[in-house]
Structure 1
């Protein structure tokens, strides 16, 4: 049932601007660092001469949490708004499919779109490094993977929470405002305590314990998912 609902949701996002958003985030970050290195090439290559790839990824990593939280918020809101704007919740939930399947299908769609965006960021980082003349044989594939997908896993609690809120509120002002606030707060993640989940995407890159924080994000995301499903299954719809 989940896959049938996911197939239907996949068709619904056509023409909604979601794919533009999925591409905009990673390409925007890569373009920003391309401009940064392009304008200060001599200075930055001298500064990071010992590890050019590491310097590029380090500059990208500062903005990855912001992009993840803001992008995840907007993707969740746009997907939920498809049903809110057309007032089709009653028709959808009247179909012979469980509410849990409906929730999981929308969550999987959100996660797939954000995951694709993260993969595009990793690929874009490699492409930018090659365009800047960095050596192909020195590409740190583990770090490229870490800046994209492990940061994504660490951000799962917020993404799941955002979908829960977006599906619960017909007016998207509160979910989007919360997501924007969390995104801006993540800019100061280095000043937050390590046990605060908001800092985990940053700590995936900023500390050697990246597996710990990505695993913690995955586990906490599952814990947030449970009350979200229960609430959605019991919630009255308009």
Structure 2
């Protein structure tokens, strides 16, 4: 049942600008580092020595948590707005598909789109390194693949919360504003505590025990998703 709902959602996002958003973040972050390394390549080569790939990844990942939280906010709003703008909630929920299946399908859709965006960032970062003349034989594939995926796991509570709020509210101003505030707060969350939820996306990369924060993010994200699912199942959605 969830599979049917997910297949339907894939069709609905065509022509809605969602794919543009999926590609925008990785292209933007890659372009930013292309400018950074292009202008300061000699200096950065001296600074990082034989660890150029690691230096590139560290420069990219600084902006990944912010991009993920903003992306989760906007993506959630755009996915929910497919139904809000068309006024098709009642029609959708009258079909032989349960409300939890509808909600879960949209959550999975958001997760898959963000995973695709993270993998595109990995591809763009590796491509940039090769264009800059970094040694292809020294590509840290494991770290490159984790570049967006580990912070995404840490940011999952924000995605779950934003999807919940945008799904149950026709007015998207409050959820989007809240998401922007959370994303900005996330930039300074480490100064509060590494265990502060908004810091988990950063800690999932920089911590010597990243999977502690991955686990916290996934656990809290799934819990918030389930709470949102229960609320959505009981709420009248116009």
TM-aligned CA deviation for residue 146 of structure 1:
2.0
Q: Provide the C-alpha distance between the structure 1 equivalents of 2:144 and 2:208, rounded to a whole number of angstroms.
A: 15
Give 1:156's aligned residue.
156
TM-aligned CA deviation for residue 189 of structure 1:
3.3
TM-aligned CA deviation for residue 86 of structure 1:
1.0
Give 1:79's aligned residue.
79
Give 2:127's aligned residue.
127
Q: Provide the C-alpha distance between the structure 2 equivalents of 1:211 and 1:133, rounded to a whole number of angstroms.
A: 32
TM-aligned CA deviation for residue 220 of structure 1:
1.1
Q: Provide the C-alpha distance between the structure 1 equivalents of 2:79 and 2:63, rounded to a whole number of angstroms.
A: 24
- Normalising by structure 2, we get a TM-score of 0.97
Q: Provide the C-alpha distance between the structure 2 equivalents of 1:129 and 1:186, rounded to a whole number of angstroms.
A: 28
Give 1:226's aligned residue.
226
TM-aligned CA deviation for residue 205 of structure 1:
1.8
- Decide whether the 8 Å contact of 1:121 with 1:148 is kept in 2: yes
Q: Provide the C-alpha distance between the structure 2 equivalents of 1:227 and 1:157, rounded to a whole number of angstroms.
A: 12
Give 1:211's aligned residue.
211
Q: Provide the C-alpha distance between the structure 1 equivalents of 2:42 and 2:188, rounded to a whole number of angstroms.
A: 29
- Decide whether the 8 Å contact of 1:62 with 1:187 is kept in 2: no
List structure 1 segments (4+ residues) > 2 angstroms apart after TM superposition. Answer: none
- Decide whether the 8 Å contact of 2:168 with 2:237 is kept in 1: no
Structure 1, residues 190-228: CA drift from partner, whole Å, max 9, x if none? Answer: 313111111111112222111111121111111111211
Give 1:57's aligned residue.
57
Q: Provide the C-alpha distance between the structure 1 equivalents of 2:19 and 2:177, rounded to a whole number of angstroms.
A: 22
Q: Provide the C-alpha distance between the structure 2 equivalents of 1:27 and 1:189, rounded to a whole number of angstroms.
A: 26
- Normalising by structure 1, we get a TM-score of 0.97
Structure 1, residues 2-46: CA drift from partner, whole Å, max 9, x if none? Answer: 111111111110100000000000110010000000011111111
TM-aligned CA deviation for residue 176 of structure 1:
0.6
Give 1:141's aligned residue.
141
TM-aligned CA deviation for residue 132 of structure 1:
0.8
Q: Provide the C-alpha distance between the structure 2 equivalents of 1:182 and 1:145, rounded to a whole number of angstroms.
A: 25
Structure 1, residues 155-199: CA drift from partner, whole Å, max 9, x if none? Answer: 111111110011011010011101111111222233131111111
Please, which runs of 5 or more residues in structure 2 have no aligned partner?
A: none
> What is the 5 A alignment of 1:20-59?
20-59=20-59
CA RMSD between the two structures: 1.0
- Decide whether the 8 Å contact of 1:147 with 1:205 is kept in 2: yes
Give 1:6's aligned residue.
6
**Secondary structure of 1:40 counterpart:** helix
Please, which runs of 5 or more residues in structure 1 have no aligned partner?
A: none
Aligned pair count? 238
**Secondary structure of 1:181 counterpart:** helix
**Secondary structure of 1:14 counterpart:** coil
Q: Provide the C-alpha distance between the structure 1 equivalents of 2:192 and 2:44, rounded to a whole number of angstroms.
A: 28
